[in-house]
Amino acid sequence: DTEVTQTPKHLVMGMTNKKSLKCEQHMGHRAMYWYKQKAKKPPELMFVYSYEKLSINESVPSRFSPECPNSSLLNLHLHALQPEDSALYLCASSQDLSGAYNEQFFGPGTRLTVL
Amino acid sequence: KQEVTQIPAALSVPEGENLVLNCSFTDSAIYNLQWFRQDPGKGLTSLLLIQSSQREQTSGRLNASLDKSSGRSTLYIAASQPGDSATYLCAVGGGYNTNAGKSTFGDGTTLTVKP
């Protein structure tokens, strides 16, 4: 099973709301990623967790707060977002960050619209 | 800083044609290179991963090659079908000069296969 699931599929929120995106994998992977993708652009890396610890933060604004409660789950907490944060948010996982064998598997994404 | 370029940006072919998509990168010190397809509004589907020590990988009608010394990879699709219509992205896995968790994506090639 190479499935990564994400909920919700769609999310509409106001600029004062607090919401969370969820990601889950049961492949035993120990690295998990959040990407942001704007229309007709490639994914942009936001955060990487390795063995439940934050490994990479690509200078993402603090209104995005990641959390990795266990090896199967990854959350992205959203607060006080801006309309320009509207995008497709993708979660991915890989075996670990060991390098050559690091095949990433992506979830279907959450389409976020900020009003 | 790694830069990844995909040429052409868009490609339209008749059904049954064999085709080649190109990916070039500037820093040859990579761990791996991964090819993905993405349907509109969907997540990324992993097609092939080539480790830095490998020259090519094959899966069904797909064949991907890697020439690290010249900074190039190609994705060959045989006997194209309308269902192959999608955007194809290559991602270069972080190598010795960067963090192992960081992949650099090309902008993608949008393929249309006409019946």
Return the pLDDT at A1: 63
Of A56, A100, A106, the CB nearest to B101: A56
Return the pLDDT at A98: 79
Q: How far does B34 lie from chain A, in Å, by closest CA?
A: 7
Testing the interface with A: which of B31, B36, B103 to mutate, by most A Cβ within 10 A?
B103
Q: Residues A54-95: pLDDT tens digits?
A: 998 989 999 999 999 999 999 999 999 999 999 999 999 999
Return the pLDDT at A100: 73
Please determine, for residue A24, whether its predicted confidence score (pLDDT) is greater than 70.
yes
Q: How far does B46 lie from chain A, in Å, by closest CA?
A: 6
| 3-state per-residue secondary structure call for chain A | CCCEEEECCEEEECCCCEEEEEEEECCCCCEEEEEEECCCCCCEEEEEEECCEEEEECCCCCCEEEEEEECCEEEEEEECCCHHHCEEEEEEEECCCCCCCCCCEECCCEEEEEC
Identify the DSSP state of B30. -
Return the pLDDT at A12: 96
B interface toward A at CB cutoff 8 Å? Answer: 31-32, 34, 36, 41-46, 49, 51-53, 89, 91, 93, 95, 99-103, 105-108
Q: Among A83-92, A106-115, B95-104, where is mean pLDDT lowest?
A: B95-104
Q: Which residues of B touch A99 (CB under 8 A)?
A: 31-32, 93, 95, 100
Residues A4 and A91 sit within 8 Å (Cβ to Cβ): yes
- How far CA B85 is from CA of B13, B76, B80, B111, in Å, comes to 10, 14, 9, 5
CB atoms within 10 A of CB B99: 13
CA dist., res. B85 & res. B77, Å (int):
11
Quick one: how far is CA B51 from the chain centroid? Answer: 13
CA dist., res. A16 & res. B34, Å (int):
38
Q: How far does B80 lie from chain A, in Å, by closest CA?
A: 23
Stretch A30-41: mean pLDDT: 96
Q: For A17, phi and psi rounded to 5 degrees? A: -75, 160
**Interchain pair A102, B53: CB under 8 A:** no
Testing the interface with B: which of A104, A111, A112 to mutate, by most B Cβ within 10 A?
A104
What does R_g of chain A's alpha carbons equal in angstroms?
A: 13
Q: How far does B50 lie from chain A, in Å, by closest CA?
A: 8
